Amino acid sequence: MLIGIDQMAFATSDKYVDMVDLAHARNQEPGKFLIGIGQTEQAVIPVTQDVVTMGANAAEQVVDDSNRDAIDLVIFGTESGVDNSKSAAIYVQRLLNLNRYARTIEMKQACYAGTAGLMMARDYIAAHPGKKALIIAADIARYGLETAGEVTQGGGAVAMIVSENPQILALNDDSQYMSADIMDFWRPVYRTEALVDGHYSANIYEDFFKEVWDRYREVTGNSINDFKAFAFHLPFTKMGLKGLREILPEADESKQTDLLEEFEASRVYNKRIGNLYTGSLYLSLISLLSNSTDLQAGDRLGLFSYGSGAEGEFYSGILQPNYKAGLKTDFGALFEKRQRVSIAEYEAIFNKSLPIDGTDLELDVSDDSAHFVLGGLQAEQRQYFAH
Ligand code: CAA
């Protein structure tokens, strides 16, 4: 039985900041941000959006009456959840009128939890043929204004339907994964911005990739030449290039050129959105599938997921004939409608948050074009609605 990703969709805010503007404001060479980091634009997430609203805005593109009742597992992967107890998935369940008879939970392990959810969904469907799962990976990446990590912020959500006979990617049962207690990036519960040991985190990412890749080759007998393309977790797009370069010398010369070309396709959207932690690998997969001109049904794709703290997983999937039909987001329209904000506007949006003492607050949602928005806080309850 083939099991895998049947549909994918993406949502983010309708505002962005340009990385050349940010470089000028921070007295940096634009080339460092554009090439050295590999980012051209960055989603700016207003206070009227959070992981719940972005998750719902992505998920509504893949849920309809044809699959609603079959979805009895909903997993929300995030490291920027809105409540220490209640899962973001339950809010989405109400907003989208999802199946009441569903297991509905949130999972956390830095940027890795979306992959954990996907793999658990695959195993669940293998045990319960005919069922479907909804996996949401949503985050807002925040390091702080004028920090080294600022150029690697961003935010958004990817939603995936996992099912039998998937339209997009059949997942092979070949995952290799590892975890170890490492303090490269973390966010204590009292903080709204991540703590990070930047260069160390990038080194650990590469080390984990190399280790799971070597195990993968050993266990499966596959080599780099068996892959049409790779998609990486992209905290910033240069990071994936560093990962790919680790293993590129193993490939034939013409294969190296092809893999580098496919990598460019896999980072087109991430360059313009920035980091969305749990969702970044899956935005990169959407980018690859949408922008590559050379993919064919039957191609083997390799995916590397990394979550600081740290956990890494490498797995492969086989591209399915109807994959384009499973991609539900119109990125042309998404980028077209985004509004470029100045550095001063971005900083004001960044500094605006819900009161942490639980005081009531009504937010002005008139400037937010998303379907689902956060309208404020009342009696310490977040007010979500469609508008
Ligand atoms: N033109 C072209 N390139 C230039 C340049 C110029 N004018 N000036 C500098 N560069 C290059 C540098 O040579 C360097 O390239 P290499 O990495 O290939 O050597 C690159 O630009 C970056 O320069 P620096 O290393 O000097 O940049 P920095 O010290 O300001 O920090 C960073 C970069 C560590 C990534 C920082 O942005 C950061 O801490 N980001 C957050 C942490 C992060 O994303 N870690 C990734 C792994 S952890 C993870 O994956 C989980 C997650 O999502 C967070």
Question: Which residue among the candidates 41, 106, 111, 313 is catalytic per the annotation?
Answer: 111
Residue-wise pLDDT for 255-268, tens only, equals 999 999 999 999 99
Element holding 213 (H helix, E strand): helix 198-220
The confidence score (pLDDT) of residue 365 equals 98
Cβ–ligand 1 distance for 19 under 6 Å, the answer no
The pLDDT-based confidence of 325 (bands split at 50, 70, 90) is: very high
65, containing H or E segment:
none
Please tell me the distance between residue 304's alpha carbon and the centre of ligand 1 in angstroms. Answer: 19
C-alpha 235 – ligand 1 centre gap (Å): 10
Phi (first) and psi of residue 313, to 5 degrees: -145, 135
Model pLDDT, residue 355? 85
Q: What's 377's DSSP letter?
A: E
Share of the chain above pLDDT 70, in %: 100
Q: How far is Cα 267 from Cα 284, in angstroms, rounded to an integer? A: 6
Chain centre to alpha carbon of residue 61? 16
In the numeric block, which tokens belong to residue 211?
């280790």
Q: How many CB atoms lie within 10 A of CB 64?
A: 10
- Sequence-distant (≥ 6) Cβ neighbours of residue 304 within 8 angstroms: 209, 212, 213, 230, 231, 232, 233, 243, 281, 312, 313, 314
Distance, CA of 103 to chain centre: 22
| Rounded Cα distance, 49 and 85, in Å | 20
- Ligand 1 centroid–CA 252 distance in Å is 29
CB-ligand 1 contact for 142 (6 Å cutoff):
no
Q: CA nearest 306: which of 177, 190, 195?
A: 177
Set 41, 60, 106, 233: catalytic member? 233
Fold that domain 170-323 belongs to in CATH: Peroxisomal Thiolase; Chain A, domain 1 (3.40.47)
Tell me the CA–centroid distance for residue 142 and ligand 1, in Å.
16
pLDDT, position 278: 98
Query: What's the rounded Cα separation, in Å, for the pair 211 and 151?
Result: 28
pLDDT digits (tens, 9 = 90+) for 115-156: 999 999 999 999 999 999 999 999 999 999 999 999 999 999
pLDDT of residue 356: 85
Is 79 assigned a catalytic role? yes
Q: Is 233 a catalytic residue?
A: yes
* pTM for this predicted structure: 0.98
Q: What is the pLDDT of residues 350-362, one digit of tens each?
A: 999 988 889 999 9
Residue 105 structure tokens: 């939970």
Q: Are strands 3-11 and 41-43 parallel, antiparallel or unpaired?
A: unpaired
Stretch 298-321: mean pLDDT, rounded? Answer: 98
Task: Please tell me if the CB atom of residue 202 comes closer than 6 angstroms to any atom of ligand 1.
Answer: yes
Give the domain ranges of the chain: 3-168+328-386, 170-323
Is the Cβ–Cβ distance between 265 and 281 less than 8 Å? Answer: no
Helix (H, G, I), strand (E, B) or coil at 141: strand
30 CB within 6 A, ligand 1: no
Whether the per-residue pLDDT at 252 is higher than 90: the answer is yes
Average pLDDT over residues 8-37: 98
Q: For domain 3-168+328-386, which architecture applies?
A: 3-Layer(aba) Sandwich (3.40)
pLDDT at 70 over 90: yes
242 is in an annotated binding site: yes
Q: Which atom of ligand 1 is nearest to the CA of 151?
A: 37
Ligand 1 pocket residue status of 152, Cβ below 6 Å: yes
Is the C-beta atom of 245 inside 6 A of ligand 1?
Answer: no
126 Cα: distance to centroid of ligand 1 (angstroms): 41
**Phi and psi, residue 121, nearest 5°:** -65, -40
Q: Is 84 among the annotated ligand-binding positions?
A: no
Nearest-angstrom CA–CA distance, 227 and 281: 17
Residue 222 is assigned to a ligand binding site: no
